[in-house]
């Protein structure tokens, strides 16, 4: 004979075992996707200035401008929540201290989707991309502008998956 | 209210109750032993931690479960997500290493700086007077992740009544549950 308690216990036990099994499968399949991320980074300028920033004592500060091109698409699969992409400076100081310092980071995740109001891009006009910014002041008026624009590109025909 | 249960216990006799109490303690002790054994294998005082703040969002949210390791001779590198506790602080903090400075002869003699992905500033303010984080302040590096599961412990800390109710219920069930 099974009491209500035993039935509830058996059911929740079975359900949580199934859930754990499923999660383990998802976690393990992550290793099946081939990852071949590519990238290219170059230093444009490297400057050293003396001064005082925020809460730090007065000292020297280095400033780097860099160009970065990456293709990280292969890292995105069904178990990728986000990427933390970061730029690291490596050097050895005058007293032999080996340093690694993060200079810049970007969290890459699928944030926006691109779809048409009528569910299809067929017969749509060519598309243009533009880079715009918003200035958020500590106090006062918000301003905005545009800094770049691509040429027009036609939407290709629908591709089948693969 | 519990008259039925009390009658059951009386019917079963002292020997049975003692056996059940022993079973219950065995469950608790083996849990503790597994925890401590995990701690020895991973070389960390707490191999599993629950995220308590939102400073690493959107990577980790409150209530997510993290699995830590702290291999003795492996230096930390920038980008590692670590859990650390500085003297004088009550709760461990889960943040990312953003600077490493190898100051000593060993690769593990490091001065570290950390920052929460979701914070604007680095953690200097959280170090309670320390200028850099040392290896001895670090509990471990995050190697695994399981979402939401740890929220139970947060709920039990926020509502202590829940904790006592759950413990009392489990204890009672262990005592009066009859093996079929």
Q: What is the pTM of this model?
A: 0.81
Q: What is the pLDDT of residue A14?
A: 96
User: Cβ contacts (< 8 Å) between B117 and chain A: which residues?
Assistant: 84, 105, 107
Is the CB of B78 less than 8 angstroms away from the CB of A105?
Answer: no
User: Cβ contacts (< 8 Å) between B125 and chain A: which residues?
Assistant: 55
Sign of CA pseudo-dihedral B133, B137, B139, B140: positive
Q: What is the pLDDT of residue B180?
A: 47
Q: What is the pLDDT of residue A162?
A: 53
Residues of chain A with pLDDT under 70: 1, 161-162
- Higher-confidence position of B7 and B140: B140
Q: What is the pLDDT of residue A161?
A: 65
User: Chain centroid to CA B173: how far?
Assistant: 26
Q: What is the pLDDT of residues B145-178, one digit of tens each?
A: 999 999 988 888 888 898 899 889 887 877 776 6
pLDDT range class, residue B179, cuts 50, 70, 90: low
Is pLDDT at B41 greater than 80 in this prediction?
Answer: yes
Q: Mutual orientation of helices B14-42 and B160-176 as an angle, nearest 10°? A: 130
Residue of A nearest to B146 (CA): A23
Q: What is the pLDDT of residue B178?
A: 63
Q: What is the pLDDT of residue A54?
A: 80
Is pLDDT at B1 greater than 80 in this prediction?
Answer: no
Nearest residue, CB atoms, A84 vs list B100, B102, B117: B117
Residue B145's contacts (CB-CB under 8 Å, 6 or more residues apart) are: B60, B64, B65, B66, B67
CATH number, span B48-149: 2.10.109.10
Instruction: Provide long-range contacts, Cβ within 8 A and 24+ apart, for B168-172.
Output: B171/B24, B172/B5
pLDDT averaged over every residue in chain B: 89
Q: What is the pLDDT of residues B52-78, one digit of tens each?
A: 999 999 899 999 999 999 999 999 999
Listed by start position, the domains of chain B span 2-42+153-176, 48-149
**Whether the Cβ atoms of residue B83 and residue B91 lie closer than 8 Å to each other:** no
Listed by start position, the domains of chain A span 1-32, 33-159
Q: Quick one: average pLDDT of B90-119?
A: 93
Give the HSE-up count for residue A100: Cα atoms under 13 Å, Cβ half-sphere: 17
Give the HSE-up count for residue A32: Cα atoms under 13 Å, Cβ half-sphere: 7
Q: Suggest the residue from A101, A102, A109 to mutate for an interface test with chain B (most B CBs closer than 10 A).
A: A102
User: Cβ contacts (< 8 Å) between A81 and chain B: which residues?
Assistant: 58-59
């Amino acid at each position: 004979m099974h009491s209500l308690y035993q039935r509830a216990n058996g059911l929740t036990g079975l359900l949580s075992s199934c859930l754990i099994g499923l999660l383990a499968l998802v976690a393990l399949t992550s290793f099946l996707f081939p990852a071949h991320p590519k990238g290219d980074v170059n230093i444009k300028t490297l400057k050293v200035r003396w001064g005082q920033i925020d809460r730090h004592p007065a000292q020297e500060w280095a400033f780097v401008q860099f160009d970065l091109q990456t293709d990280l698409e292969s890292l995105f699969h069904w178990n990728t929540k986000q990427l933390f992409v970061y730029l690291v400076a490596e050097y050895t100081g005058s007293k032999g201290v080996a340093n690694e310092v993060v200079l810049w980071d970007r969290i890459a995740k699928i944030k926006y989707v691109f779809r048409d109001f009528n569910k299809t891009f067929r017969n749509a006009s060519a598309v243009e991309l533009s880079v715009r910014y918003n200035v958020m002041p500590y106090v006062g008026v918000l301003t905005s502008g545009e800094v770049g624009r691509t040429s027009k590109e036609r939407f290709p025909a629908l591709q089948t998956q693969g | 209210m519990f008259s039925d249960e009390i009658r059951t216990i009386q019917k079963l006799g002292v020997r049975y109750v003692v056996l059940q109490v022993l079973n219950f303690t065995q469950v608790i002790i083996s849990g503790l032993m597994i925890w401590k054994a995990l701690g020895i294998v991973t070389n960390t005082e707490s191999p599993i931690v629950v995220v308590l703040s939102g400073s690493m969002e959107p990577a980790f949210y409150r209530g997510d479960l993290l699995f830590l390791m702290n291999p003795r001779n492996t230096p930390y590198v920038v980008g590692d997500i670590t859990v650390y506790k500085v003297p004088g602080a009550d709760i461990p903090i889960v943040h990312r290493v953003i600077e490493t400075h190898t100051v000593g002869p060993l690769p593990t003699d490091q001065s570290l700086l950390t920052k929460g992905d979701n914070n604007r500033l680095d953690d200097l303010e959280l170090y309670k007077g320390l200028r850099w984080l040392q290896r001895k302040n670090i509990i471990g590096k995050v190697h695994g992740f399981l979402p939401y599961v740890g929220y139970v412990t947060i709920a039990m800390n926020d509502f202590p009544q829940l904790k006592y109710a759950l413990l009392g219920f489990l204890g009672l069930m262990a005592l009066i549950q009859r093996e079929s």
